Amino acid sequence: MRLLITGGAGFIGSNLARLAVGDPAVADLRILDDLATGTMSNLDGLDVRVVPGSILDDQVLDDAVRGCDAIVHLAALPSVPRSLRDPVSSHHANATGTLRVLEAARHHGVGHVVVASSSSVYGANPTLPKPELTWTGPLSPYAVSKLATEAYAIAHQVSYGLPTLAFRFFNVYGPRQRHDHAYAAVVPRFVHAALRDEPIEIYGDGRQSRDFTHVRGVCAILLDAVRRRVSHPHPVNLAFGVRVDLLTVVAELEQIVGRRIVRRHQAPRAGDVRHSEADNRVLRELFPQVRPVPLKEGLRETAEWFQTNVVKQPLG
């Protein structure tokens, strides 16, 4: 299999690349990334072909897609707050970018495309856990752009016969996730602060909950999906229905670092949802062998990676 990962120098993409290079089913691995959020250091030690550039550049995209059998499309501008500040860029990268990838796949005869959507599409829907066919109520431009991402993938499946699979990611965390920018996700920010014995900033009361999903489990499913060319007529939640609030995450980190962590509460952020939890029945039907990484194990693995590669201070 000749596999292209868009956004392959990013957090999830680079973890997937490291898993894919060791898989005998993957004969050729290509990475397309403009390094807007990813870094080349994430690919250190990997024997892969890197195509530098944007999915919005037709010539670059054409070069990357030509001859591929499958695509895992992860390239995006993440973050709800980022999209609130610059909704047009989020739309171009996430919605228009996905359409361009799907069109390139169609024109080059690619046999299978997996795309990354987000649990943020559920937005104002209070249902817990959230089944895929419940109503969506996006609260941010980012969420709208991800709803377009999955809709384009499904439309290409129906309109053009292109086998696709749209995953809704739920708060993915783990090694190689950036902490050092204004739009960093909660787990890397918390882990970095905890290791440095700094206060943790929590937006709101900390009782908001998320279905945290370790990147190792996510990548195992992504690779299995392209190996078996799994497609589905609807988006599929990629999470395991384990909802945890932020204060519990902080308490787990206290056990890992061996000391009390100071909490500093800030005002809630616009566009954030209060609770998120996946109904994962469809996921388990499609991928019955995959098991979730327990939160305690995943946080320790993440903290150990940060300790070795970023903070360089011993754990407690």
Helix (H) or strand (E) holding 94: none
Instruction: Indicate whether 314 pLDDT > 60.
Output: no
Q: What is the mean pLDDT of residues 77-105?
A: 96
Q: What is the pTM of this model?
A: 0.94
What the block records as the tokens of 296 is 């305690």
CATH class of 2-172+213-238: alpha beta
Can you tell me the distance from the alpha carbon of 27 to that of 126, in angstroms, rounded to the nearest whole number?
44
Helical packing angle, 215-228 and 11-20, nearest 10°: 60
Can you tell me the distance from the alpha carbon of 304 to that of 315, in angstroms, rounded to the nearest whole number?
8
Sequence ranges of the chain with CATH classification 3.90.25.10: 174-210+241-311
- Count other C-beta atoms under 10 Å from residue 198's C-beta: 12
**Helices of type H across the chain:** 11-20, 58-65, 80-85, 87-90, 97-107, 141-160, 186-195, 215-228, 246-257, 281-286, 295-306
Which CATH number describes the domain made up of 174-210+241-311?
3.90.25.10
* pLDDT 10s digits, 16-30: 999 999 999 999 999
Question: Taking a C-beta distance cutoff of 8 angstroms, is the pair 74, 7 a contact?
Answer: yes
* pLDDT 10s digits, 142-174: 999 999 999 999 999 999 999 999 999 999 999
